[in-house]
Amino acid sequence: MAFRVLIVDDNRLMRDMVKRSVELSGLEISCVDMANDGREALEKLRAAWYDLVLLDINMPVMNGEQFLQALRSDLALRDTLVIVVSTESSVPRIARLRELGAGFVHKPFTPEELIAAVRALLARPPIASRGETP
């Protein structure tokens, strides 16, 4: 399965670094696209299908937590795989993100850590079939 990946981060350099890690991860990738914030990411997701979102937390306009809440409340998008890629260290905040069905990888990370997080998410049933409501 070739993944269509959306990288969401307000820092261009970080988006490029995450893209490079994706390319080195060994995942079969058909497309990598980028967004500057959560609002732009939602627009892109509503216009085209992405299998995986790699999401920063601290961004202007719409932060990663707000994006994830909006994504999970959208029936067409709610099962999209999301991995938070962040320097965030707040245990309660990370727990909230995990409750919303996101994986988590701390920056800086290795391609191996990224692929492990993707595999862990793929092993879980979709949110809709778990009976969760955001």
pLDDT in tens, 18-37: 998 888 888 889 999 999 99
pLDDT higher than threshold 90 for residue 108: no
CB proximity list for 117: less than 8 A, separation 6 or greater: 83, 103, 104, 105
For the chain, what is the radius of gyration of the CA atoms?
13
Domains of the chain: 3-126 (3.40.50.2300)
pLDDT higher than threshold 60 for residue 134: no
pTM for this predicted structure: 0.88
pLDDT in tens, 90-103: 899 999 999 999 99
